[in-house]
Amino acid sequence: MTTTTEVAAGRATRAPEDRRAARRRRWLLEVGWKYLLAVVVIFYAIFPLVYVLSASLNPYGTLAASNALFSVIDVSNYAALGETRFWTWAGNTLLIGGIAAVGAVLMGAAAAYAFSRFRFSGRRAGLTGLLIIQMFPQALAFVAIFLMLLALGEVVPVLGLNSKIALICVYLGGALGVNTFLMYGFFNTVPIEIDESAKIDGATHAQIFWRLIIPLVTPILAVVALLAFIAAFGDYIIAKIVLVSEENWTLAVGMYQWVSNQLASNWGLFAAGAVIAAIPVLVLFLSLQRYIVGGLTAGSVKG
Amino acid sequence: MTVDAPTTPRAPAEPAPRESHARRWRGPGWGFLAKLALMALVNAFGVMTLLSAFRVESWVVFSATLVLLLAADVVYFTRRSLPLKYLLPGLVFLLVFQVFIFGYTAYIAFTNYGTGHAGTQEQAVEAALIQGERRIEDSPTYPLSVVERVGELGFAVVDENGDVLVGSAEQPLEEARDAEVGSGGVPTEVPGWDVVPRTTVITDAELQEQIAGLRVAVSEDPNDGSIRTRDGSSGAVYESTLVWDAGAQTITDTTTGTVYTANDQGSFVAEDGSALPTGWYVNVGFENFFRLFTDPALAQTLLSVTVWTFAFATLSVVLPFALGLLLALIYNDARLKGRRFLRTLYILPYAFPAFMSALLFRGMFNAEFGVINDLFFFGANINWLGDPWLARAAVVWVNLWLTYPYYFLVCTGALQALPQDTLEAASIDGAGRTRQLRSIILPLVLVATAPLLISSFAFSFNNFTVIYMFNNGGPAIPGAPYALGATDILISAIYDISGVSGGAADYGLASALSILVFAVVGGISAIAFRQTRKLEEFQ
């Protein structure tokens, strides 16, 4: 009698503990290990970024000295950037990328509007043509770009070699193919009844385009602008052959020169420049992340 | 879908005939004014280009500009072709800077364009004669003034008859009427030109250099020689020791008597086999393509480059996809707290600009001072960038770091879009977790991501930036022509071969290789085309 009550009482007190332990074990087995793995993945993902931040704060500026992470903290590398052409290059990159992005958005949006809203002969052929053209990367034809700009420069110097305008034009040449499809799909999701009711109210095509459609498709415009900017930002091969003189270089061309020439001694400069250049892109990317994922899955990849 | 809107013509809202928007004037329409201003700019630029192309006799540029300018005016000032009003700006850039460039690449692939063959035959003759120029013994000197016209320098000389002749680098000497000769015997006033004062010529070092290099042809015939000056106040005739005979297509060296004959390879070659350094480019047919396959050193290296290109592109898709999918599967778990935070940290490598990542890893993988050897291999001196296989492994590793977040994002999206009721039904039917994964989740995710995988493959195939920034395609393959290296993929090989970055250029050969890569990319794209069936979207 007493034993059974003892056992029962014991079970009553021990059972919740058992259950809690079992639940904890299950949690560890099914969920908890994911946190442990996450630590490993995060280390893998951000170690290089932490390293470059640390190197940028290391006043010795050499590769060897940068290995002791955060042993010294000093902003002299950032100050030293002022004595180089870094800010000129950053300005060039911003200018070239900015104009290329705006141009790509305007031309892509206009083309997508035409394909989405008008029915005209050659429309399907045009869309198919764009689809095919966009599959051939411009970078593969850099020899022809070089020779063409060489010849064009004799006629119109602003469109020749070593001209930022010429580089922007080359980038805009690729704008229609890559972006029209991305935008075309999005434009199609805007109901055509909106256009029709506006037309009945007496709006012209241009008014419908600028006042009605553009505000409704802003998210895709932002994505295309960012992708075009990042493409121009990251391009090396075309920028390198078009921009000859050092004061016209973009960041990609200039920073490559730092690291390839005297890797060991310019490391601090490179690290500081990388941090400065990456932060705006990182912030933009993370804040537009939601839209970008949609854009990326529609066919574009990292460039 | 709303896209399949009326294909039948819509009933006109207003009775015809309607004026074009371009010509209709309803008060101060800002849109119209803006368009007018823009078109004025476009026309001004176009006419300027036409004039300048006419002056330098660049007929391709001239005709292209003419066609484009006419098209722009017709499209924007008539009421036809409404869609073209929206398409034209992008289309112009597309045609000039993409479509034309593809065609031009194909054209260059069939020529021997490159160092030593960089212009037309006319230019080659001119360059040869200039190189062979010497001052003629006891040729008379002429009083000379330096003249200038909107940035263009020229010479004005007084000839034996007391007449003033004027010319520039582009325009041979011709008589200048109403020119005045001053007390010093040199021309002081030349109509249409500004005479540069003697004091400026003496003090401006940069100008002196330009003057020393300036040559003004005596006449249209290059054999007549040209005027040059040493001191900026007197000029003498320089004649080439080489004589060009256009009829016989030969250049004769008058000092040695050697005759150089033009051959169909675009060079002037003497009988003893020696050639003049300047040639011109000619159509060589399929020779560049044959060279890619038959030149033993080149063909062997290119074969290994091609194999590596396919391996790199495949690994750059498979490994990051596997890692991204795995992480997406693991972290798509509602019981996890802080998933958004984790996700943000995971995709940081993707938001870091790619070219800087590659440069960063270039430093981190450095054998002597790099942090990777120092921290993770206990200071061992592993030559990551110098050993072919280690370098290949390292560049794949870098690309894995760069691109797995993309697949992580894409797969997370695909997983969240999975039909929940199907999974529920499966678990009711007794399907375990592995079974669900294998039979439902993976097939559905693969269907959603397959087109992306194919386009990523095509992208990695031409991922110049990562390869070049990381290690310049090195380490060099011993005995390979054109500085090709073990991690070079086809596009960086083309870059090395073309010589655009310096050294001997071989544009023809590089373009031929480009054409082959275009064909490969086209093949891959055709597969993608069939896979995605994007065409169905716009029927």
C-alpha distance from residue B269 to each of B262, B437, B477 (Å)? 6, 72, 34
Partner A contacted by B522 (CB < 8 A): yes
Give me the interface pTM, i.e. the ipTM. Answer: 0.87
Confidence category of residue B152, pLDDT binned at 50, 70, 90: confident
Please answer yes or no on whether B348 and A282 come within 8 Å at the CB atom.
yes
Q: With beta carbons less than 8 A apart as the criterion, state whether A163 and A245 touch.
A: no
Which range scores top for mean pLDDT: B110-124, B200-214, B284-298?
Answer: B284-298
Structure tokens at A217: 């498709």
Please answer yes or no on whether B87 and A136 come within 8 Å at the CB atom.
no
Structure tokens at B138: 């006891």
Amino acid at B347: I
Other residues' Cβ atoms within 10 Å of the Cβ of residue A148: 25
How many angstroms separate the CA of residue B475 from the nearest CA in chain A?
Answer: 14
Partner A contacted by B465 (CB < 8 A): yes
Backbone angles phi, psi at B431, to 5 degrees: -75, 130
List of chain A residues with pLDDT < 70: 1-14, 261-265, 293-303
Helix (H) or strand (E) holding B122: helix B121-131
Residue pLDDT, tens place only, B440-468? 888 888 887 887 888 888 889 999 999 99
With contacts defined as CB-CB under 8 Å, which chain A residues touch B522? 135-136
DSSP letters for B195-210: EPPHHHHHH-HHHHHH
Partner A contacted by B302 (CB < 8 A): no
Amino acid at A192: I
Distance, CA of B268 to CA of B262 (rounded, Å): 4
Partner B contacted by A194 (CB < 8 A): no
Return all residues near B9 (Cβ < 8 A) that are at least 6 apart.
none
Please answer yes or no on whether B465 and A236 come within 8 Å at the CB atom.
yes
How many angstroms separate the CA of residue A57 from the nearest CA in chain B?
Answer: 15
Q: With beta carbons less than 8 A apart as the criterion, state whether B240 and B261 touch.
A: no
Structure tokens at A208: 């419908």
Q: For residue A34, count CB atoms less than 10 angstroms from its CB and return exposed for 0-12, middle for 13-18, buried for 19 or more.
A: middle
C-alpha distance from residue B304 to each of A139, B93, B100, B308, B488 (Å)? 22, 37, 31, 6, 9
With contacts defined as CB-CB under 8 Å, which chain A residues touch B21? 204-206
Partner A contacted by B238 (CB < 8 A): no
Residue pLDDT, tens place only, B9-60? 444 444 444 555 545 555 557 778 888 899 999 999 999 999 999 888 888 8
Structure tokens at B389: 């296989």
Beta bridge partners of residue B189, listed in sequence order: B180
The interface residues of chain A toward chain B in range 223-282, judged by CB-CB distance below 8 A, are 230, 233-237, 240-241, 252, 255-256, 259-260, 263-264, 267, 270, 274, 277-278, 281-282
**Strand ranges (DSSP E) for B353-512?**
none
Q: For position B404, what pLDDT does the model report?
A: 94
Return all residues near B252 (Cβ < 8 A) that are at least 6 apart.
B242, B243, B245, B258, B259, B260
Please list, residue by residue across B328-366, b when 16 or more beta carbons sit within 10 angstroms of its beta carbon and e when fewer do: bbebbeeeeeebeebbebbbbbbbbbbbbbbbbbbbbbb
Side-chain half-sphere exposure of B447, counting CA atoms within 13 A = 7
The interface residues of chain B toward chain A in range 368-397, judged by CB-CB distance below 8 A, are 368-371, 374-375
The interface residues of chain B toward chain A in range 430-449, judged by CB-CB distance below 8 A, are none
Residue pLDDT, tens place only, A24-49? 888 887 788 888 899 999 999 999 99
Of B91, B363, B455, the CB nearest to A259: B363
How many angstroms separate the CA of residue A13 from the nearest CA in chain B?
Answer: 29
Closest CA to B382 of A257, B319, B371, B503: B371
Q: With beta carbons less than 8 A apart as the criterion, state whether A68 and B381 touch.
A: no
- The crossing angle, in degrees rounded to 10, of helices A86-117 and B82-94 is 140
